[in-house]
Structure 1
C-alpha cells in the first residue's frame, strides 16, 4: 500500500543551515498492518507522518501510495487522497469549538459532497461506534479530553478510509483513557484498517504489530513484534 524509496525532506537545501528532516528513508507498509513510527523530538517522525499523509511531499525520492507516485499529483488530487483514503487523528483533537460534535464528524463527509441525509447517518454511525451518539449535540468544550479524542476518531472513520494515521493520539490523555484509544485503534486494525501510529513513547509503540524507529531523519530499526491486544 505504501512504498517510500530513498526519500529526503530537506529544509533550506543548499544552505549552511540545511536540515534533513528525512535523510534517505526507504519503507514499505502493507495493507492491514499496524505500524508504530517512534522517535524523540526532532527525530523526523512528524515529517514522516506529513509525507505519508500527503500533507507534504518529499524533496527527493519516491513515495507511491497504492502504486501512485505522490510527487506527480496536483494539490487537488492530494487533497482528495487526504479526504478519501486517510483518516487523521491528532494529539490536540483539532475539533472546531463552535460546531457540535455531530457537525465536527460530518465535516469530511461534506468535503466529499455527500448529501445531508446520508452524511448525518454516517456521522451518527461513527459516533455510535465510539460510544458518543448521545452527545451528538454537545460542543467540544462540554466534553472531557478523552471524549474529544473519541470524537476525533469518529471524524477520522466516518468516511471509512483504508488508512488511519494517529499522531501522538494519547499525548493529552490520562493513562486509562489513552489505553482505551489504543484499544480502539487495534480494533480498527483487526477490522482491516491500515494503522500508522506516530509516537515518542516506547510503551505506546509496543501496542503496534511493527515498530519503525527513526533518529536524525533515518530509520534505525524496523521489526515486527508480538503484542497482547486489548
Structure 2
C-alpha cells in the first residue's frame, strides 16, 4: 500500500478551551496507481489532510505510513527529503518562480534532489513534451497564460518521477476550457502509472477521479469508487 493513515488527528490548541480538531480520527488507504479526489467545503479538513499526506505537516496523533515509512517519526530534514522523492505538487496558484524560465522552474526541484545535470535535462525535456510546453521552455511565467503556467507546474511535478501527484484545486484559477485540458492531463498521467490525489471543493471536478473521498468537520463521511457513485 502506498499510503496508509490510521486514526489520524490534527489538533490545534490541544487541551485548550478553543481547541480545533482539523482532522478528527481519519483513516485512509490509497494504493499505487489510484486516482482519488478528496472533496469538502472550506473548513472540512481537506487542506490539512493534503498537508499531512504530502509530508508538509505531521499528525498530532495517529499513524501515517508512506511507502512503508513512518512519517510521524521523521525529522524536518527527513520530511523534506521524502517529500521531494515521493510527491509532486500542483497548486492552484502555480507557485512558479517569476525570475526563472519554464525550463528552470521544472529543473529546480531536481537540483535540490542532487540529480546530475545530464539526467536533469533529459527528464525536463520529457516532462515539458508530455504537457506540450517544449516550445515555451525559454519563457518566464509572465510571458505564459494561466493554462501554460499550470502545464509547467505539472511538468515540474512529474519530472522528478515522484510516484504521487498531488493537485490542490489545480483548475481554480483557470477558465473552464483550460481547466478541462488540465484535468485531461491529470487523467493521462494516472493512466501512465502516476498515483493522483486531487484536492477540490468542486463535485464536478472530483468526478474525474476514480474514487471520491468526502470530508466534513475533519472526518471522512464518504468513500466511494466511480462505479458505486453511478448507482
Matched, 1:168 2:198: no
Stretch moving more, 116-125 or 133-142: 116-125
Stretch moving more, 116-125 or 83-92: 116-125
Match of 1:129 in 2: 130
Match of 1:141 in 2: 142
Counterpart CA distance in 1 for 2:60 and 2:71 is: 12
Q: 2:95 is paired with a residue of what secondary structure?
A: coil
CA offsets per residue over residues 107-165 of structure 1, 9 Å max, x none?
Answer: 11101111223212211211111111011111000010000000000000001111110
Number of aligned residue pairs: give it. 227
- Unmatched segments (≥5 aa) in structure 1: none
Q: 1:13 is paired with a residue of what secondary structure?
A: coil
Match of 1:82 in 2: 83
Q: 2:24 is paired with a residue of what secondary structure?
A: strand
Counterpart CA distance in 1 for 2:225 and 2:171 is: 22
CA offsets per residue over residues 163-195 of structure 1, 9 Å max, x none?
Answer: 110000000001111111111111111111111
Q: How does 1:33-48 map to 2 (within 5 A)?
A: 33-48=34-49
Match of 1:157 in 2: 158
Matched, 1:209 2:225: no
C-alpha root-mean-square deviation of aligned residues, in Å?
Answer: 1.0
Q: 1:107 is paired with a residue of what secondary structure?
A: helix
Counterpart CA distance in 2 for 1:226 and 1:148 is: 34
- Unmatched segments (≥5 aa) in structure 2: none
